[in-house]
Structure 1
């Protein structure tokens, strides 16, 4: 299995899409770093900044449009969707551009200084009203979760048969990459033993809450972008941020903030460990597919050392 390649487009193709929705005059079309599954470009039109993304994965942007309405409608800075469409085999979305740079561009010290604001955003995400939808796992184009329970989602997400998805034929990775079957199965078994703690909790999960999907002007967080959005235990987002800012005391800061807000989190430790296993297991598979051996080894060691 080869590493995934993002779609490639000529500038003329991009211009045609933008002209269709905004009229002529799009300028400064510039590729953006980040986005492992999309080709992303920024551009300016009538002095306003926008982003256009292209993907060959079915349905991703319909969900993003739903999430955009959900989050921006509840006071969370997430790019507003302006247009959805198709060009040839590719789906695209045009959104407003949030100011600032990736938080990853700033020093570790600058990132740590913004931790209180990040914790506040995580708390708001966990409190998003999802009552108008149902289901667990990936948020579908209709705004509902794809599975009847969190357990059903976890089993399906780790099943061998992933036909038609990013993970099609992923068991080949056991032969062609650094992915180790015994390690994967050990972590999976631990994950299954934690499910009873995570299952009762259904909230919004961004699914990729880390420095490359968080924007800042250096003093404040200006917004969050992208996401592998799903319904389930919101502590998954906390686990993601902690693994990406592992020396910043994320967990302690989160618990302090919840205490100040009089928010009680039942079974916090057990749920957090379940969240680490869920996201970490996916990380092992992803890093192996992308050939990122250092990230694979670091995640492997962290997961195996976790105390269930």
Structure 2
């Protein structure tokens, strides 16, 4: 997970005032979005159409969206149309169309089955973006280059002790919460052992491809949102995220088949998946430990241990 600042504070009256300065007529309705841990998000209705305005401490995510729209302009890609961006009271904002549908985590098994081909097709398009002109790995900078020289350096940065923002002082969780150091470290060591299989594989990845960030309507993916964690790394990290969300649906084999058919490098597929799955699980474990949710923590831990056991991978 990237270093995360606190959510911007902007009330609805301020938003209405800003929007009325941008649009010709009065805003009909405005609602604060229930989600968003990093950005402040509002939905608003103007001329019978709903749009989204997002506020952030930096504009990197918005620049990435524009970059992706340009890179995939000849493809039909489910990125909500970008309408406007600017600065308000030292905060960056962006306005885009609101997509209507159901977040993927609310689909039942039958709905997911019918929607998965569309989800896979969108990931294939994203991961097909040519990254050869781009330097580095990890989080993107304003030149659309990665901020680390190697993938392993990027992976190590996830869980470094000294961080700022959201994860500042997170090592205290080992002493003040149920986050168990020996278990966490054993999983971390196994992840780093497997990292060699992901090194050198550079794709543009969403890096938060699940939950409310994937919007489905009539078995089609109509929107991929929240591009704040985009990075250059192995495409397997996006796949692992969605597989971990639906652990009982046997998606790994399906993804392997589709990616191989589309001429992606699928060598060492299991090892790469396990590296990504451990990374995602460790991040989730410390997140729920921070918020005191032992049930969610145990669920993630039990799931990753079950996956490792399935593939006969032991941790010390």
| TM-score, normalised via structure 2 length | 0.86
- Cα drift, residue 72 of structure 1: 4.5
On the 8 A contact 2:78/2:122 being kept in 1, the answer is no
* Residue-by-residue CA offset, 1:18-45 (whole Å, 9 max, x unaligned): 2343344223212223322222211122
Higher mean displacement: 235-244 or 66-75: 66-75
Correspondence for 1:198: 198
Q: Which runs of 5+ in 2 are unaligned?
A: none
Q: Give RMSD over aligned pairs.
A: 2.4
Higher mean displacement: 91-100 or 64-73: 64-73
Q: Does 1:129 align with 2:151?
A: no
Aligned counterparts of 1:94 and 1:133: Cα–Cα separation in 2:
27
- Report the count of equivalent residues: 303
On the 8 A contact 1:208/1:237 being kept in 2, the answer is yes
Aligned counterparts of 1:115 and 1:272: Cα–Cα separation in 2:
18
Residue 137 of structure 1 aligns to a residue in which SS? strand
On the 8 A contact 1:119/1:253 being kept in 2, the answer is no
Higher mean displacement: 275-284 or 252-261: 252-261
- Cα drift, residue 70 of structure 1: 4.7
Q: Does 1:97 align with 2:109?
A: no
Mapping 1:60-139, distance limit 5 Å: 60-70=60-70, 72-73=72-73, 75=75, 76-139=77-140
Mapping 1:18-37, distance limit 5 Å: 18-37=19-38
* Residue-by-residue CA offset, 1:149-191 (whole Å, 9 max, x unaligned): 111111222111112x321111122233322222221111111
Correspondence for 1:168: 168
Q: 1:52 to 1:21 in 2, by over 3 A?
A: same
Aligned counterparts of 2:113 and 2:37: Cα–Cα separation in 1:
25
- Cα drift, residue 46 of structure 1: 3.1
Residue 201 of structure 2 aligns to a residue in which SS? coil
Q: 1:169 to 1:70 in 2, by over 3 A?
A: farther
Residue 166 of structure 1 aligns to a residue in which SS? helix
On the 8 A contact 2:285/2:300 being kept in 1, the answer is yes
Aligned counterparts of 1:66 and 1:73: Cα–Cα separation in 2:
10
- Cα drift, residue 84 of structure 1: 3.0
- Cα drift, residue 193 of structure 1: 0.7
Aligned counterparts of 1:184 and 1:253: Cα–Cα separation in 2:
30
